[in-house]
């Protein structure tokens, strides 16, 4: 009977954000060791929901999603102790792999409008350039890893942008805003880790990150919708 909850979007969403809220509270007020018990529940919940609701015909696409979420799970665990340089470097690697796998999932064979992509890419590149420039002097040995990770942020954002018109509006906007929130979370984390503290940083990082992975996964599940079909799944 428990598996039925993974067929009901409303119930699953409540459970997921309840777990996210608990993890945020642990992050804000609990010992860091407790996060090894609170944080790792988020991604497995999404893996279970995706498993029960995935598209049935695209086996390769399913593989990329499972690999992406698994990579993010490993990155989640490693980055808990981000003050340790080895853990931080390893987490950057797995988050980058996660973005790579999601990018491979978002690739499609439909034609796309290059003219529409250019201004979006320029705007996105300018943002990443400003962000890297802001933390540049404090990156030190993480410069190459950070540049590599931000490069794949550009890649996943562009592929998410190019999904417009290929999938339903609901699927497109869930994925697009999910990637946008991931960029927000990644930006705040980069500033916090390499430059300076900012107000409410831990709360904002986890809220944006947890919401981003949820939206991306739901957007992929909604690929089953017909284009133009925006009826809600319950």
DSSP 170-220: HHHHHHHHHHHHHHHHHHHHHHHHHT---TTHHHHHHHHHHHHHHHHHHHH
Task: Look at residue 113 in the predicted model and tell me its pLDDT.
Answer: 66
Question: Is 95 in contact with 72 (CB distance < 8 Å)?
Answer: yes
187-210 pLDDT, tens per residue? Answer: 999 898 888 888 999 999 999 999
Task: Look at residue 234 in the predicted model and tell me its pLDDT.
Answer: 38
**pLDDT band, residue 1 (cuts 50/70/90):** very low
98-119 pLDDT, tens per residue? Answer: 999 999 999 877 656 667 778 8
The answer to whether residue 66 scores a pLDDT higher than 50 is yes
Closest CA to 99 of 20, 178, 17: 178
**pLDDT band, residue 145 (cuts 50/70/90):** confident
* Partners of residue 164 on adjacent β-strands: 167
Task: Supply the mean pLDDT for the chain.
Answer: 88
Q: Which residue has the tokens 């980058």?
A: 96
Task: Look at residue 55 in the predicted model and tell me its pLDDT.
Answer: 75
Instruction: Name the residue with higher pLDDT: 19 or 224.
Output: 19
In order of 32, 82, 128, 136, the CA distances from 196 in angstroms are 20, 14, 18, 12
């Amino acid at each position: 009977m428990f598996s039925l909850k993974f067929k009901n979007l409303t119930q699953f969403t409540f459970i997921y954000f309840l777990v996210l809220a608990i993890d945020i509270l642990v992050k804000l007020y609990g010992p860091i060791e407790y996060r090894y018990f609170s944080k790792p529940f988020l991604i497995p919940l999404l893996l279970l929901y995706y498993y029960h609701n995935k598209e049935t015909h695209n086996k390769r696409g399913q593989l990329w999603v499972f690999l992406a979420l698994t990579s993010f799970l490993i990155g989640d665990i490693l980055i808990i102790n981000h003050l340790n340089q080895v853990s931080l470097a390893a987490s950057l690697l797995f988050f980058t792999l996660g973005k790579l796998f999601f990018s491979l999932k978002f690739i499609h064979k439909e034609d796309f409008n290059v003219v529409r992509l250019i201004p979006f890419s320029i705007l996105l590149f300018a943002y990443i350039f400003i962000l890297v420039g802001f933390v540049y002097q404090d990156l030190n040995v993480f410069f190459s890893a950070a540049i590599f990770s931000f490069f794949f942020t550009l890649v996943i954002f562009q592929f998410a942008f190019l999904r417009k018109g290929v999938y339903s509006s609901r699927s497109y906007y869930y994925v697009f805003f999910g990637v946008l929130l991931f960029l927000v979370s990644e930006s705040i984390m980069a500033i916090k880790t390499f430059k300076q503290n900012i107000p409410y940083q831990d709360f904002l990082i986890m809220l944006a990150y947890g919401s981003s992975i949820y939206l991306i996964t739901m957007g992929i599940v909604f690929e089953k919708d017909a284009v133009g079909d925006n009826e809600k799944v319950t």
